[in-house]
Each structure stands twice: as structure tokens, then as C-alpha cells.
Amino acid sequence: MHPQVIQDHPGDCPICHMKLTPLKADAPAGGGSMAQTPSGSEPMPGMTGMQGTAKERKVKYWWDPMLSPPYIADKPGKSPMGMDLIPVYEDEVSATGGQVTIDPAVVQNMGVRIALVTEGPLAKTVRLVGYLDEAQPNIREVNLRVSGWIRRLYANTEGQRIEAGDPLFDLYSPELQVSIEELINGRRAKAALSTDADESAKQTAATLYDAAASKLELLGLERAQIDALAKLDKAPPTVTFVSPIAGTLTEKPVVEGAAVKMGDRVLKIVDYSTLWLDAQVFEKDLPFVKVGAKAAATIASGPTPANQPITPISGEIIFIHPRVDTMTRTALVRMAIPNPSFTLKPGMYATVHARAELADRAVMVPREAIIDTGDAQMAFVAQAVGKFEPRKVKMGLAGEDGVVQVVEGLSPGEAVVTSGQFLLDSESRLREAIQKYLNQKNQATTRAAPAPGGLAPAATPTLPMFDATPAQVEKVDAVVTAYLTISSALGAEQKDSPPPTPLDMTALIAAAHALHGAVSGTKIEPLAAGIAKAAEAMKGHPIDHQRSMFSALGEKVIALAEALPPSSAVAKTLFVMNCPMAPGGAKGDWLQTSPDVANPFFAADMKECGSQVRTIKTREVPR
């Protein structure tokens, strides 16, 4: 229950008074791999002799994993939060290459699941939504080419089913009657000529008949109707117009007895044996939708018996609109849907799944196996029992069934973690941070050894040493002295002291402006300007706000002191200190003249929280 309580012999926890649990000698503490037994029970096999083994192990460092970043020290003690530091042994941090080792029992408790990396064809299904509509080639309008009156209307109800050749309406038209009479007269003239009549007369009679027939055909009559009318003795009072196609009457702007004139639209007939499904595809999915691609349309209210599952209708994409709608960022995609039983109706809602083949051969993993930070992707590869390797990968296209293509980093047959990888990622990053700290500590031969506690941050980028004039050094002395006065005031607060007031930044601002004028045109000028700007930002704010902004000021003053060291009149040695818990995640560096920590960010609350990072040697004052 309390991981900070560790002993080399059995006993009770001093906090909750529960019996202590034995820990395997080869289990990496801090990695969450403790194998526990119930209180009072015997140790598990392989856990005997723990006392002698623990005494022989060498402690690598001591830490408090509850802090972020973790608090690390090179000797036992307490963290700034008052927690006992936990030892981490050398054999627990011996893993290389960022590999994470976790006890198999803990792996099971974490719910870690793995899946194999596979290779095969990569496909993607794009989901579209749309509506059924009339197929434009199947629309036919009945227009008049002659004026008249509708004596009788057979197609008199919108929605009425009409077959090809069915009568639509009877039209009375004097012009039609005259033309029909001409046709009848032409037929009589042809019939009156004997077989031995002059060829010229026969040709003239045939021409008159054909001209009358052609005229009626131009007025909208069918050829069969014309042949039937020619056999009559006289022209009928009305002429029946028939439907050119089979379909449904969708518009009827006339009624019986209506007067119509040439060019009027009388009826509109649509063939619903084939419908169009117009769907919308998002702009990002357009590359995966092609003309001729197979698709399946699901129509919720389609031709499905009651209590039966909906059967998708197969089809193919026949058209993709060349324009993307600027408001919805979608383009129109069209399918032709057969409707032989006329059970589908225009206006019905439909869902379309269009399948696209993305690659013939691709390396694929489940999407949940990839941790995507936005800048990079990573997966955990299971190497052996309890061992996981973090590996950078590069994702490609996303396929169906939750798989994604991996173009770099993985090979077919490898096992990747699909559940629990975020816990492994946290453990991997924690160990990486600790290892960087230890490497930095071992390589810092020219720096003073850090005091116990705190991750040593990276050194502040500095400018090369600047060859300054005595006047410029004098201006630097004024800036550093004013800064040290503020640093000392912030770190000197004691408990039960009067409520603090905002610190006066006037002296530092004036010194920074004076330095800016003295180093104008040099590479020190940006530092002087930055110090003045940071000091002005702190001016007049409550002291708690000044503490939160003090780190930004300290970074610039430290950079100045390293590039252009002040004289020994300020101090013989300047100490660069660091607080790992600086407010707002700031770097937390500051300058002081004593090696004893006086934290300017927390003062009385955590006065000794921090460590010495390095020192800055001042220049000797000429005598």
C-alpha cells in the first residue's frame, strides 16, 4: 500500500501496520513489478533468501516517483513533499535500448493484450449517405405540337401507372382534322388510279399522301395511328394521344376540357424501373471513390419482408460530380439502383458502403496498437515474457476492420501491444528521463556535484565569453547586483512574517536599460533588452505573480553572467541553483551568492527545495 516503505527484514508497515510483503530479488522496483503474497502467507517459490540478496545489491539512486518530474537523490532522505525516498538498484536499470521489463503477473493485472503484425491486401470502405431520386434519362414530357381542346383525359391522376401505348387524352384540334382529311384524300387519290395510269400521276398521288402522313407525324402522332387514320372515310372529331414509355404520371397541369396550345406541356411521365442514388462523400474520402467501383446500398425502408434483416443492394458508382460544395465540403456520388418491382421510391434515405482496394500487399496492425502524439507514432513490440520494446513507426493508410498500414518500423510476424500500451509508454518515458539524468550526472566533470534531490536540468544556452570594457563590466555589475537583491528578498521570507508586498523592480530596470546602451550593436544587446523586458513584466504585480515570473528573468541574467561575468566586487562566486518544482513548469534556475539553497519560488513553504547546478566565476577587479 505504501511503496516508500522498504525494509531488509520482515515486519509491519509503520504507516498502516499491515504485514510487509516480500519482493522478488530480480523484480524491478519502480517498474511496478512487485509479486505480492497475502499478509502472513509464505513467500512464493524463488523468493526465499531475500534478506541476504537485498544486502548484496547496490543502490543506483534514491527517488520519489510521486513527483513530476521524479525527485532523484544519491542518498536516502525525504523528498520536498515529505515522502521517504525509495531505493532503485543497479540491476533494475540495466536494460538498454529503452526496453521495459515488467513482471508477468503485473502485465496480466494491467490488461496488456497483444496482436500479430500481418501482411496482406489493404482495403477501405467509405460510408456515404444519400437519397433516391429519379433517373434523369427516364423522364419524358408530353408536349403538344398543335393547338386544341382536351375532350377526354385518361391519365387524370398523378402517381398513376401507365404502360407504353396506353391512351393519355383525346384532343380536338381543327388543324389536326384538316391534316387528317388531307391524308384521307391522298389515300383515295392513290386508290383511284388504275394500274395503267400515267406514272407521273401515280408519283404525284403518292407524294401527296406521304406529305400528309409526314405532317401528322410532325404534329405528334405515331406511325401506327397515321396508318389507321388513313383508312377512315372522314377525319374523327378527336385524336387520341398515347404514352411513349411505361412509367408513372408525376405531373398533370391540365384537366378535361382545358384549352391547350402548341408548345404546352400536358403531362410528365417518369420510368421508375431504375433510380439514381445521389450520395455525398467527404472531401477527404474522394481519393478512395472511383467511377465503376463496387458499392452496396442499404435502404432502411426498402423491399424487405417484415421481421427480416435488411438486404443491401449491390451496384456500382456511375458518376462523381467534378465540384466540391464549399459549404458542406462534400461531392456528389451517384449509383444506379435497379427497381424492377417498383418498391423503392424517390426520396428514400439510403446508406452506401463503397469499397476501395488501397494496396495489394501492406503491413498492417490494429489501430489501437499505435500511439500517435501528432508529431510521431510509436508502438510497443513484445520481445519476450514481460519485456517490451518501444519502437518508432510510421503509419500509412487506414483500412477497414480497425487496421492501419505501417510503412516503417514493424515487420510481419512481430507482436505488438494493443491494450495497456499507455502504461508501458509512461514507464518507458520515466526510465528514459532517469537514464538521461544519470548520464548527464556522470558526464558533468567540469561542474560542481549536484546536491541531493532534483533532476538536474539541461544547461542554459550561453553566448561565448565577451571581451568587455571596464565601463561595460560596471554596467553588468549593476544589473547582477540589482537581480541578486530581488533573488535574496524572494528567498529570505520566513514563516509568520508580515504579508509580503510587491518587490520594487525600478533599480533592475534602470540598470538593464543602462547596460543596453553600453552594449548596443554587440551580441550582448539582446540579453540586456530581454532582462529589461522581463523586469518590466514583473513590475507592480503581487509578489506571488512575481515569483511565477522570476524563472524567465533568471535565465536571462544567468546567460548574461556567463557571457560577460561581473567583477568580484559583486561576489567571488555566483551559484546557479535549480528548483525542479518551479511554478507553471518553468525551468526554475536562479542566481545567488551562497551555496545554501534559498528557494525564491516557494520561500518559507519549501525554502530548501532545489539544488546547485553549477558555478560562475567572476572576474578579478584590477588593482
Q: Which positions ≥6 away from 548 have C-beta within 8 Å? A: 583, 584, 586, 601
Can you give the pLDDT at residue 542? 87
Specify if 82 maps to a domain.
no
Domain of residue 604 covers 470-617
Q: Is residue 378 part of a domain?
A: no
Average pLDDT over residues 138-159: 93
Pairing of strands 573-578, 139-143: unpaired
pTM: 0.48
Taking the CA atoms of 138, 141, 145 and 151 in sequence, report the sign of the dihedral they define: positive
* pLDDT score for 500: 66
pLDDT of residue 196: 66
The DSSP call for residue 104 is H
Looking at 215, 239, 270, the residue that finishes a domain is 270
Phi-psi region of 165 (alpha: psi -120 to 50; beta: other; left: phi over 0): left
Q: Tell whether 552 is covered by a domain.
A: yes
Higher pLDDT, 78 or 135: 135
Amino acid 445: pLDDT:
41
Indicate the pLDDT class of residue 302, thresholds 50, 70 and 90: low
Of 306-320, 456-470, 560-574, 606-620, least confident by mean pLDDT is 456-470
3-state SS track over 254-308:
CCCCCEECCCCEEEEEECCCEEEEEEEEEHHHHHHCCCCCEEEEEECCCCCCCCC
pLDDT-wise least confident of 345-354, 407-416, 602-611: 602-611
Rounded Cα distance between 218 and 211, Å, is 11
Comparison of pLDDT for 444 and 139, the residue scoring more: 139
Which of 243, 270, 297 terminates a domain? The answer is 270
Model confidence band, residue 68 (pLDDT cutoffs 50, 70, 90) = low
Question: Is 127 a domain residue?
Answer: no
* Residue 168 included in any domain: yes
Q: Is pLDDT at 44 greater than 80 in this prediction?
A: no
pLDDT band with cut points at 50, 70 and 90 for residue 194: low
* Burial tier of 585 (Cβ tally within 10 Å: 0-12, 13-18, 19+): exposed
Give the integer Cα–Cα distance in Å for 317 and 153. Answer: 40
Evaluate if residue 61 carries a pLDDT over 60.
yes
Average pLDDT, the chain: 80
Residue 456 has pLDDT above 50, yes or no: no
pLDDT (0 to 100) of residue 205: 84
How many C-beta neighbours within 10 Å does residue 118 have? 13
| CA–CA distance, 245 with 254 (Å, rounded to integer) | 20
Total domains in the fold of the chain:
2
Coil, strand, or helix at residue 248? strand
Looking at the domain assignment, is residue 330 inside a domain? no
pLDDT band, very low/low/confident/very high, at 438 (cuts 50, 70, 90) = low
**Lowest-pLDDT range, 80-84, 132-136, 312-316?**
80-84
* CATH label of the domain that carries residue 247: 2.40.50.100
C-alpha distances (whole Å) from 623 to each of 355, 467, 564 are 87, 19, 20
Do the domain assignments include residue 122?
no
User: Residue 190 domain-assigned?
Assistant: yes
The DSSP 8-state label assigned to residue 571 in this structure reads: -
Residues contacting 252, CB < 8 A, separation 6+: 153, 155, 156, 157, 158, 267, 268
| Listed residue (24, 22, 27) closest to 7, CA to CA | 22
Dihedral (C-alpha) 478, 483, 484, 490: value to the nearest 10 degrees?
150
Cell of 254: 391540365
What does the pLDDT read at residue 32?
A: 41
* Local confidence band at 149 (pLDDT 50, 70, 90 cut-offs): very high
Least confident of 216-220, 233-237, 262-266, 618-622: 618-622
Q: What is the mean pLDDT of residues 380-393?
A: 83
Check residue 19 and give its pLDDT: 77
In the block, cell 396506353 appears at 166
Sequence letter at residue 574: L
Q: Where are the alpha helices (DSSP H) in 444-542?
A: 470-491, 506-518, 525-538
Structure confidence at residue 448 as a pLDDT band (50, 70, 90): very low
Model confidence at 482, pLDDT cuts 50, 70, 90, reads very high
pLDDT at 496: 52
pLDDT, tens digit, 9 for 90 and up, residues 19-36? 787 766 544 444 443 333
Cell numbers at residue 139, please?
423522364
CA dihedral 539, 543, 545, 550 (to 10 degrees): 70
Q: Which of 225, 249, 270 is the last residue of a domain?
A: 270
Percent of the chain with pLDDT over 90: 28
Cβ atoms of 367 and 403 closer than 8 Å: yes
